[in-house]
Structure 1
């Protein structure tokens, strides 16, 4: 079995997703996915990206070029370096537009930045749910 095959199988198992279900999600047959996992076949570029995106890992990790599943980026807050995933970094960059949120980061900045990121994600999720439930807020007007 190849590194790629092992990593796909381990990620799939960790997500508790059946081979047939995962194959559908990435647009290949169960037989093809089985061959990826056994090392008999390698995915094309687009499929490799779909696999990486689904599991939120880098293609370098899938290919065995790194042992770190997700991309890590480092930011410095209050003199302390904090490692963030790509998704967390995007949220962090958005949060930086609102400096009032960073007023109390001198003590334990890593924990506080991660808490802010979680809060921001929750806020965004709730706002998206509200849009789906209530539309644009005006409803339908009768003539």
Structure 2
């Protein structure tokens, strides 16, 4: 990680932790890391290994892309990442059901927008 990437990571890590309402110790416990590691990552004193980056992103329910500054929203990235990671586990019939459900949600959202206009 270069200096700019380190700054983005430490800012995103702290922002995601605060968004989830966690202390550094709570995040460390969720990520199975020593509390000092989270403190060092947030201060920029240390850079996480790839394994620790994955642990932190899972504990915060965001993707590594968000923590690294490659995605802008923690909410969308966590959800999209989880869907993308697990899609291969769906059967053909389950995939069709998921597509139909997303279509129904989009129709409902569009109807809500029209009702507010």
**Does the alignment reach a TM-score above 0.5?**
yes
The CA distance in 1 between the partners of 2:98 and 2:44, in whole Å, is 48
Aligned-partner Cα distance in 1 for 2:34–2:25: 8
Match of 1:109 in 2: 107
Residue 19 of structure 1, CA deviation? 0.8
In the alignment, does 2:101 pair up with 1:96?
no
Matched positions, count: 97
Give the structure with the higher percent helix: 2
**RMSD of aligned residue pairs (Cα, Å):** 3.4
Residue 39 of structure 1 aligns with which residue?
44
Supply the distance in 1 between the matched residues of 2:106 and 2:30 (Cα, whole angstroms). 40
Higher relative contact order (CA 8 A, sep 6+): 2
Q: Which runs of 4+ in 1 moved over 2 A?
A: 68-72, 84-91, 107-112
Structure 1 regions of 5+ residues with no counterpart? 73-83, 113-143
Higher Rg of the two aligned structures: 1
How big is each residue's C-alpha offset from its partner over 1:47-76, in whole Å with a ceiling of 9 and x where there is no partner?
Answer: 11111122222212111123243449xxxx
Higher strand share: 1
Q: Partner residue of 1:26?
A: 31
C-alpha change, 1:47 and 1:109, in structure 2 (3 Å) is: same
Separation (CA, whole Å) in 2 of partners of 1:25 and 1:98: 30
- The corresponding residue for 1:67 is 72
Which runs of no fewer than 5 residues in structure 2 stay unpaired? 1-5, 111-117
Offset of 1:98 from its aligned partner? 8.0
